[in-house]
Amino acid sequence: MTVDTKAYGEVEVDERQRILLPSGLYGFEGLTDYILLDARQRPFYWLQSTQVREVAFVLMDPKLIRADYDADLDPQDLEELHLEGTGDSRFLQFSIVTIPEDRRGMTANLQGPVIINKDERIGRQCIARDDRWCVRHNILEEMASTGKDAC
Amino acid sequence: MLILSRRKDESVIIDGRIEVSVVDIKGDQVKLGIKAPRDVKVYRNEVFMAMQAENRAAVSAPAELPELIIGDSDTSSKSRS
């Protein structure tokens, strides 16, 4: 299928890159059909809406930001994605990245990870039950230090 | 908006399956108890609003992304605020 992307214009993508988010993302509840693309810049990915070109989110693995990251997800969230736990081989988790004009200020949302079942290609934005995680963690600062508390 | 008065230990039922009860009242703070089926998500409104606001901020990312250098970053301990 061909998708008009914000980052790369029209690209040909495999059906296997398609991810359905039945509840959408917070604030974007009406958009449920996305593709997951490797960004040209490591270690980022794009979660691009197939419906609206301008709606594309930058994602990255939260474990790169905090090796000890564990959202303590509600088991119900995992069940809805047919996942048996965070150790399930189909389990994928991403954080949505916010990039302001001054890129040193880029932050990751560790409180609202996007969880995906990669075989069924369904996902949802979950809310961490561990209150150490908030919506804005400065990525460069987190990666440069090994502290414990986050917010 | 529907506005109902309730006293401590009284409750309301929503949609026949969600019970919201007033557990305690102290000054300007009210403690609510919520009984709902497991598929009903209940969050503090601030959390919900913060998620929406952050996603809206995230969606304006530039198409050209920075590179992040992963690996042997400075591992000295720092205090955070």
ipTM entry = 0.92
Contact between A82 and A72 (Cβ < 8 Å): no
Is the Cβ pair B78, A147 closer than 8 Å? Answer: yes
Amino acid sitting at position A110: L
Is the Cβ pair A135, B54 closer than 8 Å? Answer: yes
pLDDT of residue B66: 83
pLDDT digit string (tens) for A101-140? 888 899 999 999 999 999 999 999 999 999 999 999 999 9
Q: Does A58 touch chain B (CB under 8 A)?
A: yes
pTM of the model: 0.86
Q: Which residues in chain B are contacts of A149 at CB distance < 8 A?
A: 80
Confidence of residue A26 (pLDDT cuts 50, 70, 90): very high
Q: Does A81 touch chain B (CB under 8 A)?
A: no
Q: Which residues in chain B are contacts of A64 at CB distance < 8 A?
A: 68, 70
B37 CB neighbour count, 10 Å cutoff? 9
d(CA B10, CA B23): 8
How far CA B14 is from CA of A76, B17, B34, in Å, comes to: 21, 6, 11
Residue A82 has pLDDT above 60, yes or no: yes
Residue B81 has pLDDT above 60, yes or no: no
Torsion of CA A95, A125, A131, B40, to 10 degrees: 180
Is the Cβ pair A54, B48 closer than 8 Å? Answer: no
pLDDT digit string (tens) for B25-79? 999 999 999 999 988 888 899 999 999 999 999 998 888 888 887 654 444 444 4
Residue A19 has pLDDT above 70, yes or no: yes
Confidence of residue A143 (pLDDT cuts 50, 70, 90): confident
Q: Which residues in chain B are contacts of A44 at CB distance < 8 A?
A: 65, 68
